[in-house]
Amino acid sequence: MRVEIWSDIACPWCYVGKARFEKALDAFPHRDAIEVVHRSFELDPGRGKTDIQPVIRMLTKKYGMSEAQAQAGEENLGTQAAAEGLEYRTQGRDHGNTFDMHRLLHLAKERGRQDELIQIFYKANFAEERSVFGDDERLVELAVSAGLDAGEAREVLADPAAYADEVRADEREAAELGANGVPFFVLDRKYGVSGAQPAEVFARALEQAWGSHSPLKVIQQDDAEACGPDGCAVPQN
């Protein structure tokens, strides 16, 4: 059975949601029969490659909140990430365009290293001090750490058309499926799970998708935090 996950590296709920899904997947009796494929979804596709800004500034501009409110939201996200065993820097992160990372993830898919690379990208963006935005050599280093060839990664980054069609196709398909926010999980094209749901919801969806052949059903679409075209929901204390 195939599970497709639409997500963006800039989405904190995608980072948390992946961990929650994997907790359910690890306990699933048919784990070895599950293929996981990561699909592209850009939260900020119109942002230029060199348009990089601090996360707090981005949040205050997008939501009209104060810096204190934005920082409180980051602290809350850090707490939720920690509950899933994830590192999360609540200060000093930045925000930028993720198109090149999605293109590299398509290369990684062809090389059988996609899950490794997306986890490395998530950790680099949310837990490490050095930025993942606007620095091709940084992305090459991360690709190499996931088992990709440095030369191949550089070739992809140097050619704006490389895997661009694949990224856009993923994004069109997300729209066709009704996914207007991420993370969005599609299980064997039978069930959809929207948002960073608890592991129990993912476990139930895996069981239902494994044992049935019904059309796509969205489970608790509006009940969990997600990132959409207007940005990421920011938890408040």
Residue 136 — pLDDT band, cuts 50, 70, 90? Answer: very high
- Mean pLDDT (the chain) is 93
Residue whose pair of structure tokens reads 């959809």 in the numeric block: 192
Residue 159 has pLDDT above 80, yes or no: yes
The model's pLDDT over 181-227, given as tens digits with 9 standing for 90+, comes to: 999 999 999 899 999 999 999 999 999 999 985 555 666 656 678 88
The confidence score (pLDDT) of residue 224 equals 75
The confidence score (pLDDT) of residue 229 equals 66
Q: What is the C-alpha R_g of the chain?
A: 17
CA distance 115 to 178: 24
User: What whole-number percentage of the chain has pLDDT above 70?
Assistant: 92
Residue 228 — pLDDT band, cuts 50, 70, 90? Answer: confident
Residue 63 — pLDDT band, cuts 50, 70, 90? Answer: confident
Higher pLDDT, 59 or 224: 59
Largest pairwise CA distance in the chain: 48
Query: Ramachandran region of residue 199, left (φ > 0), alpha (ψ -120 to 50) or beta?
Result: alpha
**Is-contact 197 15, C-beta < 8 A?**
no
The confidence score (pLDDT) of residue 227 equals 84
What is the SS3 assignment for the chain? CEEEEEECCCCHHHHHHHHHHHHHHHCCCCHHHCEEEEEECCCCCCCCCCCCEEHHHHHHHHHCCCHHHHHHHHHHHHHHHHHCCCCCCCCCCEECCCHHHHHHHHHHHHCCCHHHHHHHHHHHHHHCCCCCCCCHHHHHHHHHHCCCCHHHHHHHHHCCCCCHHHHHHHHHHHHHHCCCCECEEEECCCEEEECCCCHHHHHHHHHHHHHCCCCCEEECCCCCCCEECCEECCCCC
Residue 236 — pLDDT band, cuts 50, 70, 90? Answer: low
Average pLDDT over residues 68-89: 97
Residue 101 — pLDDT band, cuts 50, 70, 90? Answer: very high
